[in-house]
Amino acid sequence: MQTFTILYTLFGGLGIFFFGMKFMSDGMQAMTGDVIRKIINSITANRVMAVGVGLGVTMLVQSSSITTVMTVGMVNAGLMTLKQSIGVVFGANIGTTITGWIISIKVDKYGLLLVGLGFIPALFAKSNKVQHLGRAVLGIGMVFIGLKTMSDAFVPLRESQAFLDSIAYFAGDNYQAYIASLLMGCALTIVVQSSSAMLGITMALASTGVINYHTAVALVMGENIGTTITAMLASIGANVNAKRTARAHATFNIVGALVILTILPYYFDFIEWLVPSDAEFKLPDGSQPNVNSHIAMAHTFFNVTATLVFLPFLNTLAKFVTKITPDKVEKESSHLLMLGNPADLLPATSLIQAENELKKMSEIVSRMYKLVREYWEDTDEDPKKLAKILDYERITDNIHKEVTVFLCYVMEKPLSHHQSTQTQALINASDEIESVADYLERLTVYRSRFRGGDSLEGESRQEFFDFMDEVQSFYHLTIAGLHKASDYDREKIVSKSEELQIWADSIRDKHLDRISKGAYKPVTALTFSDMVVALRKIRTHAFRMSQSVAELNSQQE
- Specify whether 163 is located in the same domain as 269: yes
Q: What CATH number has the domain bearing residue 433?
A: 1.20.58.220
In a domain, 334, yes or no: no
- C-alpha triplet 478, 538, 522: angle, nearest 5°: 150
- Specify whether 38 is located in the same domain as 146: yes
In a domain, 335, yes or no: no
- Specify whether 469 is located in the same domain as 363: yes
In a domain, 62, yes or no: yes
pLDDT value of residue 331: 43
DSSP state of 412: T
- Among residues 395, 386, 335, which one has the least CA distance to residue 365? 395
CA distance 477 to 535: 15
In a domain, 493, yes or no: yes
Q: What percent of the chain has a predicted confidence (pLDDT) above 90? A: 15
Q: Give the end of a domain, one of 267, 295, 324.
A: 324
Residue 354: CA atoms inside 13 Å, Cβ hemisphere, count?
33
Number of neighbouring beta carbons within 10 Å of residue 388:
15
- Specify whether 352 is located in the same domain as 320: no
Contacts of residue 502, Cβ cutoff 8 Å, sequence gap at least 6: none
Q: Give the end of a domain, one of 324, 358, 389.
A: 324
- Specify whether 10 is located in the same domain as 91: yes
In a domain, 288, yes or no: yes
- Specify whether 7 is located in the same domain as 140: yes
Model confidence at 453, pLDDT cuts 50, 70, 90, reads very low
- Specify whether 213 is located in the same domain as 306: yes
Query: Does 283 have pLDDT greater than 90?
Result: no
- Specify whether 229 is located in the same domain as 107: yes
In a domain, 336, yes or no: no
- Specify whether 265 is located in the same domain as 358: no
DSSP state of 105: S
427 touches 439 (CB < 8 A): no
Averaged pLDDT, 17-24: 83
**pTM for this structure?**
0.70
- Specify whether 381 is located in the same domain as 245: no
Query: Does 185 have pLDDT greater than 70?
Result: yes
Q: Which domain holds residue 531?
A: 342-553
Model confidence at 475, pLDDT cuts 50, 70, 90, reads very high
Query: pLDDT tens digits, residue range 220-253?
Result: 999 888 888 877 877 776 678 888 888 998 998 8
State the total domains in the chain. Answer: 2
Query: pLDDT tens digits, residue range 96-129?
Result: 888 888 877 765 677 888 888 888 888 888 887 7
136 touches 118 (CB < 8 A): yes
3-state DSSP assignment of residue 337: coil
- Specify whether 255 is located in the same domain as 292: yes
Q: Give the end of a domain, one of 324, 353, 388.
A: 324
Q: What percent of the chain has a predicted confidence (pLDDT) above 70? A: 87
456 touches 465 (CB < 8 A): no
pLDDT value of residue 245: 87
CA distance 525 to 515: 7
- Specify whether 306 is located in the same domain as 358: no
